[in-house]
Amino acid sequence: MATQPESNQPEEIVKLPEILPILPLRGLVVYPQTGVPLTIGQPRSIRLVDDVVTGDRFMGLVASKHPEIESPDPEHLYKVGTAGLIHRMFRAPDGTIRLLVQGLFRFRIIEFVATEPYLKARIEVIPEKQETGLEVEALARNVRDQFAHIAEMIPSMPRELVATVTSITDPLQTVYTIANLQRMDIEDAQEILELDSITDKLHKLVTLLTRESEVLELSQKIQKEARSEIDKVQREYFLREQLKAIQRELGETDEQAADVEEFRKKIEESGMSEEARKLAQRELDRLSRLPTAAAEYGVIRTFLDWLVSLPWSKTTPDNLDIAHAREVLDQDHYGLEDIKERILEYLAIRKLRLDRAAEFAQETTPDVIRRQREGVILCFIGPPGVGKTSLGQSISRAMGRKFVRISLGGVRDEAEIRGHRRTYIGAMPGRIIQALRRVETRNPVFMLDEIDKLSFDFRGDPASALLEVLDPEQNQEFRDNYIEVAFDLSQVMFITTANQMETIPGPLLDRMEIIQLSGYTDSEKFEIAKRYLIPRQLKENSLRQDEIEFTPKALTTIIRHYTREAGVRNLEREIGSICRKVATKITEGKITRQVVDENTIREFLGRPKYLGTEEIQRRTEIPGVATGLAWTPVGGDVLFIEATIMPGSKGFITTGSVGKVMQESAQAALSYVRSRAAQLGIDPNIFEKSDIHLHIPAGAQPKDGPSAGVTMATALVSLLTGRLVRSDVGMTGEITLRGQVLPVGGIKEKVLAAHRAGLKTVILPKGNEADLEDLPEEVHNAIQFILVERVDEVLEHALEQKVEQPAQV
């Protein structure tokens, strides 16, 4: 028989049997001197309890190393356990057994002697070492204090139990009692049981209790912060509800309710379409149910603000007085008769449509007539400074409509036109909708400036997005990505501007009516400067009419020798520069009045920038230089083509930043000259032993196109025959290898450039004869036009009859 040590031996129990039935415990360690309730459900364990109860009621309580195993084997159990005595047993209706077991002594398993019907093992009792002293007493007191502190943080812990535990004086009983009540891992609990020294047990328990205390304190802090936040939200909610109740009692409404009511009123008054009204009502209902602090509240509110502020039904009445419109256009612009007539035609058709609505009442209701599309998209194409943008402002003033302008230069994001979807942060409508909201009317004159400078990349193609905007058959249902509903653009008069037609996408160009604006003549520039530019610069520089005077010769000198452009933008800059210098002199007290004449121009503007006909005479005073006419995006220009010959056998080269088409034209000109060498009086052998170099000055400027063919041929013939090219002749035209002269484009711009340069004769292809009808009368009177069909005719009129010394190698 295994005898119990005399110390700590209960009076009613004096010895244990050497072999004890072993009851495996899952997730639980039973300590001596503690009572533990157990629930038995395994058949093997129930059989063990039944046998023990009928015997001496002793059994061994051993913890399992793996709590997840329902029926652990001997190798799954710890070697140290606690002998227990069954005090009470209760058999539940579900077949389980509930026990109250008293822990007695520690024991160590020597060996297992049976596994069926349940585990049995031979044991030996492990005596407890009795220790006293200040350290033990201090550790025991610390353990009790920590347990009491932990119990304060666990509301479910009975206060009576805490008082009982803290009143225990025996250190060993203190360890086992508190360890039994404290939550810990199975490994830590088993370690406390297996330690022999009370001091070691107390140290281990102090460590576990300290950690548990810190965890509970942190948990309480987290709960306190969370509870504080919840309390704050609840407090704000209750305060808002109280505020609403107080406002209802006072007959007032809160801010959110006021917003909702204001939006509801604006929706009814906006005159928006049925589709837009339903969307607005749906979003307003969502807004009314959201708290103002919600992130989506601001998004919906901004969307509704955009929706109700659009001019769904706001229009400005058209002034269709044709005489008034003609007067306004004449006041704002000099010349441009064709454009003015086209605008007056548009107004006349609109006036007839409205005046004769009664005659078509059976076919068309007045409301449908009012909603008829504008039917035309005007596109002004011309060089800079000719008044394209200001012409749109004049149209709006003549019609009595509001004017809005957006620049499309450099726009490469489709969302700039159609807007962003509301799912994006910072989403907003496109420029079309933004401009209509800004102008507050649905029928403005809308100018899309620089439409030829649109670009596209991975963000989309804005030119394609404009197809719907500029199509009169589609823009009644324009849908911005942000607004999401259709907005009618059919009442908007769209006007676009561009410098060149080539860079406008084909489908977009097809939707517009092209109106070409060419450059101004010198006399037109003179009148524009006198009527518009000088008064405007006087106002901008705070000068009075009697303080400065421009003589006619001074203006002519500025136009011819200080500017060379199709428009008048640089001309206005030069006039402004003179006005600023005069204002400086008046401010310094040097003068009170300034007369600007041809003698004082150099004082204000420096030396002339362009020499006019003098430059052409100087450039063409040797054979091999011809004067051509070129078209550029900023208007026409004079182009010099130079040819030279040198000994060698490298052939023919062309320089001057020329494109492939121009290089081919140069080669065609050389081939024509070589094929006609005998008739032109050129030594055929000269091509075999010579290099010919054709150069187009201003080499930094890219040049291309076939229209310089006649000029190249003339320069080559002049070089090889020694005949000078007439200095007062300019020419343009494409040539063939057979010597035919084919028509080219840009005739008006080229002829105006020749007029600006002071040329007296212009040689043009016979096929361009119809283009001469577009020229101003002043140009017709100043220039002699020679229409040719073959290169021989060009040479006859372009070359001097006097034969100089031909080119020698």
Residues with active-site annotation: 707, 750
Residue 385, annotated ligand binder?
Answer: yes
> Going by C-beta distance under 8 Å and a sequence separation of 6 or more, which residues neighbour residue 9?
none
Residue 445, annotated ligand binder?
Answer: no
Strand order through the sheet with 493-498? 403-407, 445-449, 493-498, 378-381, 513-516
Residue 387, annotated ligand binder?
Answer: yes
56 vs 12: CA distance, rounded Å:
12
121 vs 60: CA distance, rounded Å:
9
Q: Are 15 and 27 in contact (CB under 8 A)?
A: no
Q: Which two tokens stand for residue 268?
A: 């009814």
Residue 109's nearest CA partner among 52, 60, 167, 172 is 60
> Going by C-beta distance under 8 Å and a sequence separation of 6 or more, which residues neighbour residue 123?
2, 16, 18, 19, 20, 60, 83, 107, 108, 109, 110
> Going by C-beta distance under 8 Å and a sequence separation of 6 or more, which residues neighbour residue 273?
312, 485, 486, 488
Residue 647, annotated ligand binder?
Answer: no
3-state secondary structure at position 11? coil
> Going by C-beta distance under 8 Å and a sequence separation of 6 or more, which residues neighbour residue 37?
98, 99, 100, 101
- In angstroms, the first-to-last Cα distance of the chain is 140
24 vs 38: CA distance, rounded Å:
11
612 vs 755: CA distance, rounded Å:
10
322 vs 343: CA distance, rounded Å:
10
Q: Are 216 and 155 in contact (CB under 8 A)?
A: no
Q: What is the dihedral of CA 292, 296, 301, 303, to 10 degrees?
A: 180
Give the DSSP H or E segment for 189. Answer: helix 186-194
Q: How far is CA 35 from CA 86, 175, 180, 293, 618, in A?
A: 10, 14, 9, 57, 125
**Amino acid residing at 507:** P
Provide the phi-psi class of 317: left if phi over 0, else alpha when psi is between -120 and 50, else beta: beta
Q: Are 621 and 724 in contact (CB under 8 A)?
A: yes
Residue 302's nearest CA partner among 435, 482, 446, 433 is 482
Evaluate the omega torsion of the peptide bond into residue 806 and state whether it is cis, within 30 degrees of 0. Answer: no
Q: Which two tokens stand for residue 380?
A: 């002004």
Residue 389, annotated ligand binder?
Answer: yes
DSSP calls for 329-368:
HHHH-SS-HHHHHHHHHHHHHHHHHHHTTGGGTTT--HHH
3-state secondary structure 704-772: CCCCCHHHHHHHHHHHHHCEEECCCEEECCEECCCCEEECCCCHHHHHHHHHHHCCCEEEEEHHHHHHH
Residue 173 has a CB neighbour count (10 Å cut-off) of 17
Q: Are 662 and 703 in contact (CB under 8 A)?
A: yes
657 vs 697: CA distance, rounded Å:
9
Residue 430, annotated ligand binder?
Answer: no
Burial of 273 (0-12, 13-18, 19+ CB in 10 A): middle
3-state helix, strand, coil in the chain (%, to 5): 45, 20, 35
For the annotated binding site, the residues are 382-389
For the annotated binding site for ATP, the residues are 382-389
